[in-house]
Amino acid sequence: MTQNIVNHGTRNGADWCYWRTPGALVARFAPEHLVSDFLLTRSGYFPKCWHNSAWRPNPLNEAVVTMCLEGRGWILDIHDPGKPKIEVVPGDVIVVPSNAPHSYGADEKQPWTQLWFHAIGPRAVKYLAELGVVDVPFKGHVSKPDKIENSLHRINEVRKHGCGRAVLLETAALAELVLARLYDETCLEPVGRTFRNAEDGKAAEFTRKLKDITAFFQENFRNDITLSKVAGSYHVSESWLSHAFSEYTGFSPVGFVIHLRLQEACRALATTDRKLDDIAESVGYSDPFYFSRLFKKHMGLPPSTYREGYGR
């Protein structure tokens, strides 16, 4: 049987680190679902890591998440080693589900700086399934790398305090935040293929549209918004938008606008002394009486009572 070969590469820089959760601790926490359902087994930071590489034809029972911060790297479709290596550049993220053969490494001339972690547990598996990451490695380029980078660095900072329950819970929460960012980015694609099939490509396109539509509502909720105009602007049908948006956010488009308006009204009531009609108009309601009725219906109490609860 072909053996897995891993080279951690050259240790460059004082911040180089490699953390591993001992097997005995993994076994110890196995009965505690709060810990074992999402547990980081390894994490690290490899700055300018010459000769770093991993060849794993025998798949791990761990998921792997790694991000390139600087330099260059590569990933290979191990099912077809005759194909050229796929370049990994700063801002790229590689996600490998458990039990998926894979191979990746640092460029020979411009070795990457890499932040990474390995995770196990049923919640980790479900998270990757929600990302669509199954069977094969995925790669994507993130638009806001600093947010993911900060969480990955924080994982290694927390690991300096050992492997106790609190450390394992916090690092898992940070890893979930990384996956949540990737879910929001909708940027991951199977390595070696643009998409597994046309339906996957269409689904990714629609997800990106839903993300853009959500951002549009968040930026324009104070204005008059009609479903027909939004659907037309994003080249989708009104019926599709109503159904898909509800699935994506848990709100209908109209309900989401109301939610955003009332959340802003709550903030203004709690933190300012502005008059009620002024607040109503600022969030998109010209009729303060209608606003008050709507506020009570959704929040369970009148705006004035809500304000009194904050001592204003």
> Where along the chain do its domains lie?
5-190, 198-312
Element at 28 (helix H, strand E) = helix 23-29
Q: State whether residue 59 is helix, strand or coil.
A: coil
Q: What is the pLDDT along the chain (312 residues), one digit of tens a residue?
A: 568 889 999 998 889 999 999 999 999 999 999 999 999 999 999 999 999 999 998 889 999 999 999 999 999 877 766 778 899 999 999 999 999 999 999 999 999 999 999 999 999 999 999 898 988 899 999 988 999 999 999 999 999 999 999 999 999 999 999 999 998 888 888 886 544 444 455 666 777 888 889 999 999 999 999 999 999 998 888 988 998 888 888 889 999 999 999 999 999 999 999 999 999 999 999 999 999 999 999 989 999 999 888 755
Report yes or no: 177 and 65 within 8 Å, Cβ to Cβ: no
- Interatomic CA distance for residues 130 and 121, integer angstroms: 15
- Euclidean distance between the first and final Cα of the chain, in Å? 72
Sign of the torsion angle spanned by Cα atoms 246, 201, 112, 117? positive
Which of these, 177, 178, 256, 243, lies nearest to 214 by C-alpha position? 256
Give the count of alpha carbons within 13 A of 256, CB side only: 26
Q: State whether residue 284 is helix, strand or coil.
A: coil
**Which of 3.30.70.890, 2.40.50.100, 2.60.15.10, 1.10.10.60 would CATH assign to domain 198-312?**
1.10.10.60
What's the CATH code, domain 5-190? 2.60.120.280
> Whole-prediction pTM value?
0.70
